[in-house]
A and B are shown apart, each in its own frame.
Chain A
Amino acid sequence: MIHQFKKDGYNIVIDNNSGSIHSVDELAYDIIHSYSSLFVLKNNKNKEESIFDEKNKEVLNNIISEIVSKHSADQSDILETIEDIETLISEGKLFSEDDFSSIAQTLKQKMGTLKAICLHVAHDCNMDCQYCFAGKGHYSGDKGLMKLDIAKKAIDFLIANSGNRRNLEVDFFGGEPLLNWELCKETVKYARKIEKEHNKNFRFTLTTNGLLVNDEVIDFSNENMCNVVLSLDGRKETNDRMRKTKSGGGTYDLVLEKFKKFAEKRGHKDYYVRGTFTKNNLDFAKDLIHMADLGFKELSIEPVVTSDDVNYAIDEADVDKIMENYDILTKEMNERAGKENSFNFYHYDIDFMKGTCVAKRVAGCGVGTEYLAITPEGDIYPCHQFVGDEEYLLGNLETGIVNFEKKREFEEVSVYSREDCIDCFAKLYCSGGCCANSYHTHGTILKTHSLSCTLQKKRVENSIAMEIKKLDEEDRI
């Protein structure tokens, strides 16, 4: 199975199962299209079979006549291209078979060991963001701050359940984690103190709204946090529409200089300025460009996750505008590439050669297996997006995981257990998407969130086109 698309003057062919990517000219593009419509899909062509075999003579003639009617190429040129296509098929780089569906569960199991926790150190927040998926920070439960003994038990739990994984991750999350900053620091110190004796290497992330950021937070974080996520939605009017103080004021002016200092003192490495876009700013490319113009280098923005009945929810009618904005973003990034004002967009950042292995791509984000969320009370959930949903309460730090039925759901989910994904070209790029989004839409983690899929596919196409353009301009393809 293949996926073909045109972007910025390039004709691009993705071989879905092998992950191979080809940049082809118009003639080859159309011949490959003819292959898929006339030959491969109908006859289940295998690698050993050639289109030049006598029994396929009629199919070959059909392809040639179809191409001749459209292009002015002579027959020898067409045949040479067909030979090249046959070579790629035999090498498993075009129309390749799916080698992973039969071993999907084995690959999933490889990735089944706990290695990361989202530590909800504060179920409280000092902002009043209109779109907060966390119910204003307390996830529809009681407000509260995690106590140090719980945080230490969470670290112990992570170590005890991490098998032979060496790199362990802790994300200080909330609510707003800086409301419990002393605990964050003590947790880092505790983990650092015991990591060597357990042969572990802790990596910490801080996700903050910025209000309580000060020099001490910046310096400690830059010394101890492998990653910081700084929440900002873009332009002042965009940010302040949704990200408000408790008294209803905007927060842009309160956090911007702090974030600039944070990123600058980090050397603009290992951080993201991350925003959310809603129906109110479908022109989100302007927000990303605004943040780039402020000097931020590592940017991300994601569509709002909310119920359909709020006035800022994104729906199918917004798709064209969103697509247009991903294209505007792509164009801007291409124009700035290599210049001082260049910037990275998280969802376009794909390392095609040194990226993730197929086990991770099949297994997904690790929700409920590699990754768990732990609340201030020590309750354990599959991830931050399930916190507060009693059905998905897996256990607590005293009992360990006791809800084995729910845990099994996550042990078994992979991109191959989601029917919607089987024929999708992007399945090995997104692993079927966010299980929580599926659950909140369909009541099951086994389906997909169709709007998210549409956007994900667009982002994958754009990032591939950007890579091809870059390689082409550097004469490396």
Chain B
Amino acid sequence: MKRIKTLETKNLKQSAMNGGCGECQTSCQSASKTSCSVINQKCEQEKIK
């Protein structure tokens, strides 16, 4: 598209079906103990691909 560039991002709809394995790190186990940083975690399934 001439005027619109779209980033490649995770397909959230698909992740609703395939995701939710719960093997990823909890956010308070990383650097936050006073905020909710779910977006700053990595997907465990993506790590092992």
A residues whose Cβ falls under 8 Å from a Cβ of B: 17-25, 27-28, 80-81, 84-85, 87-88, 92-93, 99-100, 103, 107, 110-111, 113, 115-116, 118, 133, 165-167, 169, 171, 203, 205, 207, 227, 229, 272, 274, 276, 298, 300, 302-303, 305, 346-347, 349-361, 363-367, 370-371, 383-385, 428-437, 452, 456, 460, 467-468, 471, 477
Contacts and interface: CB of A to CB of B under 8 A. Distances in A.
Contacts of B5: 22-24, 477
A92 B13 contact: yes
A18 B8 CA distance: 12
A172 to B, nearest CB: 11
Interface in B18-42: 18-42
B2 A350 contact: no
Q: Is the interface of A mostly helix, strand, loop or mixed?
A: mixed
A347 B40 contact: yes
Contact of A19 (B10, B21, B23): B10
A81 B30 contact: no
Which has the most chain A C-beta neighbours within 10 Å: B18, B25, B39?
Answer: B39
B37 A430 contact: yes
Given A115-B26, A383-B28, A430-B37, A468 B19 contact: no
Contact of A84 (B1, B8, B12): B1
Contacts of B28: 116, 118, 171, 365, 367, 371, 383-384
A350 B1 CA distance: 25
Contacts of B46: 351, 353-354
A168 to B, nearest CB: 10
Which has the most chain A C-beta neighbours within 10 Å: B12, B21, B41?
Answer: B12
Contacts of A165: 22-23
Q: Is the interface of B mostly helix, strand, loop or mixed?
A: loop
A357 B19 contact: yes
B35 to A, nearest CB: 5
A24 B3 contact: yes
Contact of A346 (B6, B36, B40): B40
Nearest to A357: B19
A435 B1 CA distance: 42
Contacts of B39: 350, 355-356, 361, 428-430, 460
Interface of B: 1-10, 12-13, 15-16, 18-44, 46-47
B40 A22 contact: no
A304 B4 CA distance: 39
A359 B6 contact: no
Contacts of B42: 351, 354-356
A81 B43 contact: no
Given A18-B12, A477-B7, A432 B29 contact: no
Given A88-B4, A354-B43, 19 more contacts: A18-B13, A23-B7, A24-B3, A28-B4, A80-B2, A118-B28, A171-B29, A274-B31, A302-B33, A347-B37, A353-B9, A356-B24, A358-B13, A365-B36, A371-B26, A433-B36, A434-B34, A434-B36, A460-B39
A355 B44 CA distance: 9
B6 A93 contact: yes
A298 B23 CA distance: 23
Contacts of A435: 36
A169 B38 contact: no
User: Closest 6 CB pairs between A and B?
Assistant: A357-B19, A110-B20, A359-B20, A357-B15, A354-B46, A272-B31
B8 to A, nearest CB: 6
Contacts of B41: 355-356, 360
B38 A365 contact: yes
A203 B30 CA distance: 11
A349 B12 contact: no
Contacts of B9: 19-21, 352-353
A391 B13 CA distance: 38
Contacts of B12: 17-19, 99-100, 357-358, 361, 428
B34 A431 contact: no
A272 B40 CA distance: 13
26 contacts: A19-B9, A19-B12, A20-B9, A21-B6, A23-B7, A24-B3, A24-B5, A84-B3, A87-B1, A103-B16, A107-B16, A111-B20, A133-B34, A165-B22, A166-B23, A347-B35, A347-B40, A349-B40, A355-B41, A358-B12, A358-B13, A361-B38, A367-B28, A385-B34, A430-B37, A433-B36
A353 B47 CA distance: 12
Contacts of B15: 357-359
A365 B28 CA distance: 7
A28 B21 CA distance: 38
B18 A357 contact: yes
